[in-house]
Amino acid sequence: MKESFSQGQDALLETVINKGLCVTCGACVDLCPYFTYVDGRVIVMDRCRAGEGRCFRWCPQAPWKTETPDTRGREEREGIGPFIAVFASRSRDPEKRASAQNGGVVTALMELALECGVVESVIVTGRGDGGSPMGERIDSSGRISAVSGSRYTASAALAALNRAEKEGVQGIGVIGVPCQMAALERRGRYLAEKGLKDPVLLRIGLFCTWALDYRRLSAYLAQKGLKGPLKKADIPPPPTEVFRVSTAAGAFEYPLPEIRALIQKGCSVCRDMTALHGDISVGAFEGREGWNTVIIRTESGKALFDQAVEKGKVESEPFPEENLHGLNRAALGKKKRGAEAYRQMIGEENGE
Ligand SMILES: Cc1cc2nc3c(=O)[nH]c(=O)nc-3n(C[C@H](O)[C@H](O)[C@H](O)COP(=O)(O)OP(=O)(O)OC[C@H]3O[C@@H](n4cnc5c(N)ncnc54)[C@H](O)[C@@H]3O)c2cc1C
Ligand code: SF4
Ligand code: SF4
């Protein structure tokens, strides 16, 4: 790859956007007038000649110094990274579980964080009923469950954080996929370097293997005759190999290999499956429907989770060691595949 001396929009275009590696996290969107988000895509509105820009510095896909989380006092496994503890957990509220993606732990934790004043606002990914899923800011705990469930397309949700920051909002919690957690980490470091206060106080990361390109998924579903907004999407555990969606008209299944062809290109170089930069990382508990795997990574994450258990918001059990091995293996596999895909891409650019 050609050495890029700029750390501004030029560098972002050269190293990320023009290579098709943008993963639509939203960290550069609505920061300035030059980037916007339309119908599932990040659009560059105009050129900016600044030699340094937050867009480049915050982008999780941009080449920058690798941040290594501080592992003091925490156990570390190569794939899932540093942690304090890992649990099997689920919300104690059956109604909330019914509308959640898995066990509803993410919804329960952010509701509690708002109720107890740990945060004053939360950035979430909305349902996208009128189009592509997008970031939203929620200020009341009663509204968090309205966005529960996973949208399998990328959402540029961090644009809502940029807008909140412009309005001077403090005490923010963010829910997002690993690339969004990585963007928050870069953002936090940048703000610290500049002597500025980071309004983000709590990060709940979701496990992620890939996310789909919204426009390509919409075109695919339209071609299959599917109409109306998706109420739920899910990938049942192997060996089913289907992508299951439900709309007002019912439930439908599509072959997973066809769906995998719609993955964002940038996800192929992603090395993080378990949100290394979350205070808490949450995924499905493979093989135990309606439960979550919860990785507690920081003291603030631990304080919130302990409180959720004490107040009866979630139930938790020790995470079986064999499942932890399996999770670590899967995360390591993604790390290796992502690193190999990146090496290959750079090699091809250099004519190797
Ligand atoms: C694109 C994607 C891929 C995933 N891949 C895996 C995987 O391979 N393995 C695995 O174990 N888990 C995966 N997950 C996580 C899983 O789907 C659940 O989000 C997680 O287990 C938490 O479940 P829950 O019941 O606690 O969530 P809920 O309580 O239902 O809360 C879900 C939260 O997810 C947020 N959200 C929804 N869609 C998006 C989106 N597109 N981007 C960012 N945030 C969003 C919402 O803001 C909501 O607050 C993925 C999630 C996404 C969004
Ligand atoms: S990955 Fe995120 S920060 Fe980077 S270009 Fe895409 S939306 Fe912007
Ligand atoms: S695979 Fe990685 S880059 Fe793609 S959406 Fe998930 S976390 Fe982001």
* pLDDT, tens only, 282-332: 999 998 999 999 999 999 999 999 999 999 999 999 999 999 999 999 999
Measured from the CA of 271, which atom of ligand 3 is nearest?
2
Nearest CA to ligand 3 atom 8: 179
Q: Are residues 198 and 94 in the same domain?
A: yes
Same domain for 207 and 318, yes or no, is: yes
Mean pLDDT for the chain overall: 93
What mean pLDDT do residues 98-121 have?
Answer: 97
Q: Which atom of ligand 1 is nearest to the CA of 100?
A: 30
Q: For residue 20, give its domain range.
A: 9-64
CA-closest candidate to residue 24, choices 186, 154, 210: 154
Q: In terms of DSSP bridges, do strands 85-91 and 314-318 run parallel, antiparallel, or are they unpaired?
A: antiparallel
Task: State which ligand 1 atom lies nearest to the alpha carbon of 211.
Answer: 1
Q: Where are the alpha helices (DSSP H) in the chain?
A: 9-12, 54-58, 94-99, 105-115, 158-166, 178-193, 214-223, 256-260, 299-310, 321-349
Q: Is the CB of 159 under 6 A from ligand 2?
A: no
Tell me the ligand closest to 338's alpha carbon.
3
Residues 275 and 252 in one domain: no
Average pLDDT, integer, range 233-248: 91
Domain assignment of residue 3, yes or no: no
Q: Are both 292 and 321 inside the same structural domain? A: yes
- pLDDT score of 73 more than 90: no
103: tokens are 């066990």
In the reported structure, the alpha carbon of residue 116 is separated from the centroid of ligand 3 by a whole-number distance in angstroms of 31
Q: Is 27 in the pocket of ligand 2 (CB under 6 A)?
A: yes
- Split into its structural domains, the chain has a count of 3
Look at residue 41 and tell me whether its pLDDT is greater than 70. yes
Q: Determine the pLDDT at residue 47.
A: 92
Which H or E run contains 86? strand 85-91
Question: Quick one: 295 and 191 in the same domain?
Answer: yes
Q: Which atom of ligand 3 lies at the shortest distance from residue 60's CA?
A: 3
199 and 296 part of one domain: yes
Model confidence at 4: pLDDT above 60: no
Q: Both 133 and 108 in a single domain? A: yes
User: Do 130 and 90 belong to one domain?
Assistant: yes
> Residue 5: what pLDDT?
58
Q: Which ligand is in closest contact with the Cα of 146? A: 1
Residues 115 and 150 both lie in one domain: yes
Query: Is the predicted pLDDT of residue 351 greater than 90, yes or no?
Result: no
* Same-domain check for residues 278 and 255: no
Taking 90 as the threshold, does the pLDDT of residue 141 lie above it? yes
The confidence score (pLDDT) of residue 1 equals: 45
Residues with CB under 6 A from ligand 1: 100-107, 124-125, 133, 147-152, 155, 157, 175-177, 206-209, 211, 282-284, 292
Residue nearest to atom 4 of ligand 2 (CA): 59
346 within a domain of the structure (yes/no): no
Which residues lie below 8 Å from residue 139, measured CB to CB, with a gap of 6+?
Answer: 114, 120, 121, 122
Residue 188 and residue 138 share a domain: yes
- pLDDT > 70: percent of the chain: 97
Average pLDDT over residues 248-254: 94
What burial class does residue 349 get, using C-beta atoms within 10 Å of its C-beta: 0-12 exposed, 13-18 middle, 19+ buried?
Answer: exposed
What pLDDT is attached to residue 71?
77
Tell how far the Cα of 3 is from the centroid of ligand 1, in angstroms.
36
> Is the pLDDT at 67 greater than 90, yes or no?
no
**Model confidence at 122: pLDDT above 80:** yes
The verdict on residue 206 lying in a domain is yes
In the chain, % helix, strand, coil (3-state, to 5) comes to 35, 20, 45
With a cut of 90, say whether residue 215 has pLDDT above it. yes
| pLDDT for position 129 | 79
DSSP 263: B
Tokens of 47: 């050129």
Looking at the structure, do residues 193 and 256 belong to the same domain, yes or no? no
**Ligand in closest contact with the CA of 135:** 1
Mean pLDDT of the region 100-110 = 98
State the pLDDT at residue 228. 80
